[in-house]
Amino acid sequence: MLTKRHLPRTILLIVFISAISFMRSQEPSTFQVWVEESLAMNIADRWAGNVLVTEYVVSGSRQYASVSVCPTVQYTIVPWLLAEAALFTEYADQLDISNIMEVRPYVALRYTDVVDRLEPYLMLRQEFRNIYYVDSQTWEDQYRLRLRIGTRVAITDERIAPETLYGIAEMEFFQNFDPAPKEYYNARVRFHGGLGYRITDLWSGEIHYMVQRSRSYANQPFDSHDHILRFTVRKAF
């Protein structure tokens, strides 16, 4: 019988098997580099805050550079369950099509735990996307649901603590509830693996390699294949 102790290992196995199958795909449509800086802090009892800044450079069938900022507030319902609200904003300078600005508030529930060397997590997130097309000066609204399942696993220690190397495995599913936006894909599946190093209690760094497939409509195949290299620096206060 599947117990709480078995759940993290089950999540890791599902992510690994799915990722191997997923990566047997066509040549990538784009290659992307993401650089992220994350600042986290405690606000009050059960309350925490975070600010994530990301720069993106994309080449291939679509070419653009963009920057996003996402402040987040979290509330601890119980030790293993968090409620989250955030306001994501992004500006994308695109080569062949209209530049865009997106304002995306979202709400989420996040499960997180520690079992032996594993730190499994699961997040269900509802996004309210507001996309502004600079050339036509028009807005488009979308609702999108995201499900993220993953785990971190300590490699050089029994727990992820200072001076610990750890692995990362994750998969995420995206689904819009409206017709596809003009510039963005309607549905997306993303897998990634990575390595992280907890330098101190306050500092850590991570490198991820991600692959994703996207499609615009439910009756179409996943015809866009993207490879993403992501670097993340995390600082806590």
Domain ranges of the chain: 7-236
Q: What is the DSSP letter of 109?
A: E
Distance, CA of 54 to CA of 37 (rounded, Å): 7
| Residue 2: per-residue pLDDT | 47
**Which residues does residue 95 pair with via DSSP β-bridges, in sequence order?**
none
Distance, CA of 70 to CA of 166 (rounded, Å): 25
Distance, CA of 46 to CA of 43 (rounded, Å): 8
Which CATH homologous superfamily contains domain 7-236? monomeric porin ompg (2.40.160.40)
Distance, CA of 144 to CA of 142 (rounded, Å): 6
pTM, 2 dp: 0.83
Q: Which residues of 64-102 are buried (b: 16+ CB within 10 A; e: fewer)?
A: bebebebebebeeeeeeebebebebebebebeeeebbeb
Half-sphere exposure of 37 (CA within 13 A, CB side): 5
Taking only the tens place, the pLDDT of each residue in 14-35 is 555 555 455 555 556 789 999 9
In this prediction, the residues of the chain whose per-residue pLDDT falls under 70 are 1-28, 178-186, 215-223
Strand 224-236, strand 64-78: pairing: unpaired
Taking only the tens place, the pLDDT of each residue in 139-156 is 988 889 999 999 999 999
